[in-house]
Structure 1
Amino acid sequence: MTNVIFMGTPAFSVPILQQLLNDGLNVIAVVTQPDRPVGRKKVLTPPPVKVEAIHHSIQVIQPDKLKGSAELEEIISLKPDLIVTAAFGQLLPAELLEAPPLGCINVHASLLPELRGGAPIHHAIIQGKKETGITIMYMAEKLDAGDIISQEKVEITDKDDVETLHSKLSETGAKLLSQTIPLLLDKTAVRIPQDHSKATFAWNIKREEERIDWEKSGEEIYNQIRGLNPWPVAYTIYNGKPLKVYKAEKIEKRHDFPPGVIIEKTDQGPVISSGSGQSLLLTVLQPFGKKKMDASDFLRGAGSDMKIGEKVGNLDE
């Protein structure tokens, strides 16, 4: 029986762990990030992968940092045949990469060498890509730079957001891993070196990337909104406070207003002008200090004083 250690943290990783178990691999331990405070009340919450591991009575190891840690020595001492990672959140030190006889492989949510890094799903949508995919690769000390074993493309539709694409990629990753591991076991897996000159990076989203710049085109803003939904969420400024924008629809009818102007109030929500002559109908919002709501409810409540011709997006507005 092949002994496997799985390393992953968020919900994306859970179907991949489940696939390993469904395929009859002996998952001897799960390595994940420490429990973190979540929400306004800062409730200490375990990562989704830990919850799944406990459900299957699998040993859980939670290092704050792997390199030089007692947890690293413990992982190596378990003598896994194979280590599989998926959105674990830390680079693996050389001594761990060299430990398992079958190597360390990673399930990454992009078509490498494009979108290396921690937020490939967000950036694929924000950049307006029409497709992305899953890459299964041998791990290297450099971020997402190892040799490719297998890849599968996934379409990005105009209606996809992070949540829907996350689900599609997670499911695809689990299936592709199921097809790939037998190649590792019978030693027929290929190694395709990446073209590092074509590498692009998808760093974790920064706060300043969440704010909507209404000077941008309607298409760019639309991609930003769905590329940050449901987390960490795009926002604009209204009445001097952040107004989160979860969902919007593109309005193709051209306008002559300056960017960031409320040009219409509809039954579905406010329509805001962009810098390209397009406008956006905001449909799901979250006012500062309140819950997420349909924009129609917002206009009847916290946004009832919105006026046509008023501008959003500036701190002094």
Structure 2
Amino acid sequence: MRIVFMGTPEFAVPSLKLLVEQNYNIVAVVTQPDRPKGRKKTLTPPPVKEAALSLGLPVLQPERMKSADAVAAVAELRPDLIVTAAYGQILPKGVLDLPRLGCINVHGSLLPKYRGGAPIQRSIMNGESSTGVTIMYMAEGLDTGDMISVVELPITDEDTSGTMFGKLSIAGAELLGRTLPSIIAGEAKAVPQQNELATYAPNLTRADERIDWNKPARAIFNQVRGLSPMAGAFTYLNGEVFKVWACSADDEAGDPASNAPGTVLRADNNGIQVQTGKGVLSLKEIQPAGKKTMNAADWLKGARLEAGTLFGDGGAE
């Protein structure tokens, strides 16, 4: 068995490590190129590359998997099976047709819901009570292939994208370990997706990160959790970006008829209470412009924020 593994972020690392621990023959790891990161734009390898090198595995980093050179490089590896997990690029037909056992993907949602690049974040942002991992055969469409196995996990109010990425990465690796023997033996039972039930989870944009105070407190609460700890949800305060990393929601409090959505109702040791389109959002962890993430109550010790101040006022994209 010659396996090529394709993945990029931390989500994919447990699946790669499981394959090595279970003594599968990984002939190469394909991942995205190193990218600039942080304020200093330091060229940084993706987590899968770091894991692969620590495991002594050869690494390929094509800029575009659809390029003829990239397809040829994978073809030279003569894979029997390609395993992908959050690789970040769509595989062309020339790659999908290479392995005799096909290409399988460890996808972070309960397909056919949340096809696409940001299934975990959007599941939380949309207020789902559960999500999961689906292992599927890859096809030319976007996450449209037949499903092989599924595991479901609950999403609690305490969960963020960060915690769910961790849970699902482990669950996905364990599911992969249980599923591979049947694939290799040719006994896997693949089930076609019900395309009429499909929903999509496109990659996040700047617009997804901006808080709309006209929405209910619960919806903003889900948005904040879904964007933490990656990009973070933001609003504007005095024309400058003001990020919200943690909060709580009370949909029965406040009165949008008396206070415009985005109005600060109170700022004290309990945090910052803001009127929304329905209910009140209490900001717990925040990041004012030019500062580090901090507890809202701690920030208020050295900053003045009066009741009646309006969040979201001003600011340019």
Range into which the TM-score falls when normalised by the shorter chain: over 0.9
Aligned to 1:183: 182
Q: What do residues 34-93 of structure 1 show as CA deviations (whole Å, max 9, x unaligned)? A: 000000000000000000000011000000001133232111111111100000011111
Aligned to 1:294: 295
Q: SS of 1:289's equivalent?
A: coil
Contact 1:237 1:314 in 2 (8 A): yes
Contact 1:63 1:69 in 2 (8 A): no
The one-letter code sitting in structure 2 at the alignment partner of 1:111 is L
Aligned length: 313
**1:9-24 alignment to 2 at 5 Å?**
9-24=8-23
Between the aligned partners of 2:8 and 2:159, the Cα distance in structure 1 is 23
Contact 2:137 2:147 in 1 (8 A): yes
**TM-score calculated relative to the size of structure 2:** 0.96
Between the aligned partners of 1:251 and 1:291, the Cα distance in structure 2 is 27
Contact 1:235 1:245 in 2 (8 A): yes
Between the aligned partners of 1:263 and 1:212, the Cα distance in structure 2 is 17
Gaps of at least 5 residues in structure 1 are none
Between the aligned partners of 1:88 and 1:235, the Cα distance in structure 2 is 28
Aligned to 1:118: 117
Aligned to 2:24: 25
Q: SS of 1:172's equivalent?
A: helix
Q: CA deviation at 1:187?
A: 1.0
Q: SS of 1:5's equivalent?
A: strand
Aligned to 2:149: 150
Task: State the 4+ residue runs in structure 1 displaced beyond 4 angstroms.
Answer: none
Q: SS of 1:285's equivalent?
A: strand
Structure 2 counterpart of 1:262, from 255, 264, 267: 264
Q: CA deviation at 1:192?
A: 0.6
The one-letter code sitting in structure 1 at the alignment partner of 2:307 is I
The one-letter code sitting in structure 1 at the alignment partner of 2:78 is K
Q: What do residues 267-312 of structure 1 show as CA deviations (whole Å, max 9, x unaligned)? A: 1421111111x111111111111111111222123xx121011111
Which is further off, 150-159 or 69-78?
A: 69-78
Between the aligned partners of 1:5 and 1:61, the Cα distance in structure 2 is 10
Contact 2:242 2:289 in 1 (8 A): yes
Between the aligned partners of 2:165 and 2:238, the Cα distance in structure 1 is 33
Aligned to 1:283: 284
RMSD: 1.3
Between the aligned partners of 1:234 and 1:316, the Cα distance in structure 2 is 14
Between the aligned partners of 1:149 and 1:251, the Cα distance in structure 2 is 41
Which is further off, 178-187 or 307-316?
A: 307-316
Q: SS of 1:118's equivalent?
A: coil
Which is further off, 285-294 or 134-143?
A: 285-294
Q: What do residues 200-259 of structure 1 show as CA deviations (whole Å, max 9, x unaligned)? A: 100011101101011100110100000100111100110110101000012355212321
**TM-score calculated relative to the size of structure 1:** 0.96
Contact 1:284 1:295 in 2 (8 A): yes
Q: SS of 2:12's equivalent?
A: helix
The reply on whether 1:196 has 2:198 as its aligned counterpart is no
The one-letter code sitting in structure 2 at the alignment partner of 1:115 is Y
Q: SS of 2:15's equivalent?
A: helix
Aligned to 1:236: 235
Gaps of at least 5 residues in structure 2 are none
Contact 2:161 2:229 in 1 (8 A): yes
**1:18-57 alignment to 2 at 5 Å?**
18-57=17-56
Between the aligned partners of 2:312 and 2:301, the Cα distance in structure 1 is 21
**1:89-128 alignment to 2 at 5 Å?**
89-128=88-127
Between the aligned partners of 1:140 and 1:271, the Cα distance in structure 2 is 48
Q: CA deviation at 1:134?
A: 0.4
